[in-house]
Amino acid sequence: MKPLRALAFFAAGIVVEWLWSTLLPVFGLAPRVVLILTISAASCGGSVAGQCYGFFWGLFLDVLSAHTFGAGALALTLVGYSVGNLRRQMDVSSPPSQMMVVGFVSVAYGLFVGLMGLVFERHFYGPGWYDLVLGTLYNVLVAPIFFAMTRKVLED
């Protein structure tokens, strides 16, 4: 993959995350675009690509948040590493399997970030049950779109 294409993909992830969360929320919910893109980049490009994109997208999220700086970067790096290493054991070529992986990882990500807040800030820092359940469903519904876009960008 060419460096300019990788940089454009990274910047597009940031822009789409920011635009969707600020201008296009539905009932106060927006999908976690960079989480879905990290999962799709790791499933297409392997653990190194997933870790790199996840770490820098996580830093972007940490800069926007006032809580537990570094938790987002650590969580997305672990997501990229895990999905990248498990991509040979799981099939993410069809939308139902992509949706299942994104659903499971979204819940694990939300709980991990919440536990990081519990460890470092003495309270569970999480999106709340409303966002954890309905936000995960939103992630699941839009996942095939982002997987298709990632496949076009990373595999061409």
Answer whether 0.75 is exceeded by the pTM: yes
Architecture of domain 3-155: Orthogonal Bundle (1.10)
pLDDT per residue as tens digits for the range 52-73: 999 999 998 888 877 778 888 9
Name residues whose C-beta falls within 8 Å of residue 147's C-beta, 6 or more positions apart in sequence.
36, 40, 43, 92, 95, 98
CA distance 50 to 121: 28
Written as six digits, the tokens of 27 are 């009932």
pLDDT per residue as tens digits for the range 122-144: 777 766 777 788 888 999 999 99
